[in-house]
Amino acid sequence: MLKAFVNIFKVPELRTKVLFTLFIVLIYRLGAFVPTPGIDGAALAMFFQNIMRTSGGSLFGIMGLFSGGALEKATIFALGIMPYISASIILQLLTVVIPQLETLAKEGEAGRKQIIQYTRYGTIVLSIIQTFFISLWLENPENFHSTVIVPNPGWAFRLMTILTLTTGTAFIMWLGEQIDQHGIGNGMSILITTGIISRVPTALWQTWVLLSPLDMAHQQLPWWKFGIMVGLFVATVVFVILIIQGERKIPVQYARQIRGNRVYGGQSTYLPLKVNQAGVMPIIFAQSVLLFPATIAGFFPNTGLLSNFARGLAAGSATHSVLDALLIVFFTFFYTAITFNPIEVSDNLQKYGGFIPGLRPGKNTAEYLDYMMTRIAMSGAVFLAFIAMIPGVISSPKILNIPFLIASFFGGTGLLIIVGVVLDTMKQIESQLLMRHYDGFIKRGKLKSRR
């Protein structure tokens, strides 16, 4: 594997792509330290430190995870890439509902570019809406236990915040597109992963502080708990890799066609059905729905009924865990139905002379693919629900009582994104190496999905 990393810099084109990607990542991280005007950054950082000692608290916990800590520092990249993710999800949902967008999605590269343009417009609109409510939230001292975060509130501060944070989100979106065009890997995913990984030093420092107090009799994290955490982390990473790479291979046979003296087709291949077809989106959807009441309650602290309802859905409670698992299962099937159309796959197979042995092309093939994808999606849904609940279990006071910032790296959205993006980027780099007759990251074969 080390030889493969050395080979990267032997290929001029691949070396340029990797260095360009690292340069964009550096710019992204520098922007995470540029403060937003009119905000007391020290007071806001103290507030978010108190949130991270619990199980997240609100939707801002997820936004802080994706922004790499930029939100809690109130920098120009405070929103991170969340508005772009939300706009992309909305466009994908509307593509299924609106026939015009569905037709546009089938028009190839031109249609894809137009949908990307709509996603950009949606990102700006969502950013303006979110930043307006964030500015109102920052102006209210009651949200921060009577601590003044904005010394000079008013419309001047609101407009400045909207302009600054929306511009920052648009710039992040542009950085991600530059990685897609000139770098290696998926730009947005790499930026999200960079933000999550940037919180690792803080988590390691908190772990060290808990392990090495001045008085060993009052040690907050015993070594036996630390050993359990390390073992759980290794097991979770291995399990995540197996599920992300896992797929069911459906055999496909192409009919022979005789044209003149030549025979075309007749080869056997397979149709891969991924176990985790929906990716990390179901976890993001489920957490956003469950944490929405807590976020709204933060904007309107004087509403008693809403506050009581939000406390009933607090992370770590039995109600929260059960609803989180059910929503993840629901959104897994929902998102899989959007991204995988068995009728369309069956029609494409029939169009190019392919068929599944033992099944008639057309309706029977579509029903079989739908049946198989449903069973596979259930396995992926159970896996996602299990992984999503690990940080809450670890941080629960009744179990290990670990700070949420540390527990978030032992499962949940962050770990899934990191492992998935690293594997995808390694596959792209390896394909570039093998294409130029260099060894990949493993001695035999190449990085591929498991059966």
Distance from the Cα of residue 23 to its chain's centroid: 22
Q: 173 and 322: one domain?
A: no
Residue 411: band (very low, low, confident or very high) from pLDDT cuts 50, 70, 90: low
Percentage of the residues of the chain whose pLDDT score is greater than 70: 75
Contacting residues for 140 by C-beta, under 8 A, at least 6 apart: 299, 301
Q: 114 and 224: one domain?
A: no
Beta-bridge partner residues of 248: 273
CATH code of 72's domain: 1.10.3370.10
Residue 175: band (very low, low, confident or very high) from pLDDT cuts 50, 70, 90: very high
Residue type, 326: L
Beta-bridge partner residues of 269: 252
Q: CA-CA distance, 57 to 64, in Å (whole number)?
A: 11
Residue at 396 is within a domain: yes
271's enclosing H/E stretch is strand 268-274
Q: 250 and 342: one domain?
A: yes
Q: 239 and 188: one domain?
A: no
Residue at 203 is within a domain: no
Residue at 416 is within a domain: no
pLDDT of 373 > 80? The answer is yes
Residue type, 348: N
Is pLDDT larger for residue 410 or for residue 36?
A: 36
Q: 303 and 160: one domain?
A: no
- Residue-wise pLDDT for 234-257, tens only, equals 888 888 888 888 888 888 888 776
Residue at 294 is within a domain: yes
Q: Is residue 96 packed enough to be buried (19+ CB in 10 Å), middle (13-18) or exposed (0-12)?
A: middle
Long-range pairs of 432-436 with CB within 8 A, sequence gap ≥ 24: 432/11, 432/13, 432/14, 432/184, 433/4, 433/7, 433/8, 433/11, 433/14, 436/11, 436/14
State both tokens at 391: 């940080």
Is pLDDT larger for residue 306 or for residue 84?
A: 84
Residue 84: band (very low, low, confident or very high) from pLDDT cuts 50, 70, 90: confident
Residue 57's pLDDT is what?
Answer: 45
Helix axes 82-97, 109-139, angle to 10 degrees: 130
Residue type, 405: L
Domain edge (last residue) among 134, 163, 198 = 198
pLDDT of 204 > 50? The answer is yes
State both tokens at 336: 């899989």
Q: Which of 42, 85, 87, 46 is nearest to 63 (CA)?
A: 85
Q: CA-CA distance, 351 to 362, in Å (whole number)?
A: 10
Residue 450's pLDDT is what?
Answer: 41
Residue 23: band (very low, low, confident or very high) from pLDDT cuts 50, 70, 90: very high
pLDDT of 394 > 50? The answer is yes
The string over 365-404, giving b where at least 16 C-beta atoms fall within 10 Å of a residue's C-beta and e elsewhere, is: bbebbbebbeebbeebbebbbbbbbbbbbbbbeeebebbb
Q: 138 and 286: one domain?
A: no
Is pLDDT larger for residue 60 or for residue 233?
A: 233
Q: 251 and 381: one domain?
A: yes
State both tokens at 174: 């542009």
What single string gives the DSSP state of each residue in 276-336?
A: TTTTTHHHHHHHHHHHHHHHHHHH-TT-HHHHHHHHHT-TTSHHHHHHHHHHHHHHHHHHH
Q: 158 and 266: one domain?
A: no
Q: 179 and 79: one domain?
A: yes
Q: 189 and 300: one domain?
A: no
Rank 79-83, 103-107, 178-182, 435-439 by mean pLDDT and report only the highest.
178-182
Residue at 29 is within a domain: yes
Contacting residues for 283 by C-beta, under 8 A, at least 6 apart: 328, 384, 387, 388, 412, 413, 416
Q: 320 and 406: one domain?
A: yes
Residue 167's pLDDT is what?
Answer: 92
Q: 165 and 250: one domain?
A: no
Q: What is the pTM of this model?
A: 0.77
Rank 194-203, 260-269, 279-288 by mean pLDDT and report only the highest.
194-203
The pLDDT mean for the chain works out to 77
- Residue-wise pLDDT for 85-108, tens only, equals 778 878 877 887 888 887 887 777
Residue at token pair 């073992």: 231
Residue 301: band (very low, low, confident or very high) from pLDDT cuts 50, 70, 90: low
258's enclosing H/E stretch is strand 256-259
CB atoms within 10 A of CB 310: 21
The string over 122-139, giving b where at least 16 C-beta atoms fall within 10 Å of a residue's C-beta and e elsewhere, is: bbbebbeebbbebbebbb
- Residue-wise pLDDT for 209-223, tens only, equals 777 765 555 556 777
Q: How many folded domains does the chain comprise?
A: 2
Residue at 428 is within a domain: no
Residue at 417 is within a domain: no
pLDDT of 143 > 80? The answer is no
Q: CA-CA distance, 233 to 184, in Å (whole number)?
A: 28
Residue 449: band (very low, low, confident or very high) from pLDDT cuts 50, 70, 90: very low
Domain around 249: 219-410
| Tally of helices (H runs) and strands (E runs) in the chain | 18, 5
Residue at 438 is within a domain: no
Residue 54's pLDDT is what?
Answer: 47
Residue 288's pLDDT is what?
Answer: 67
Domain edge (last residue) among 142, 169, 198 = 198
Residue 124's pLDDT is what?
Answer: 93
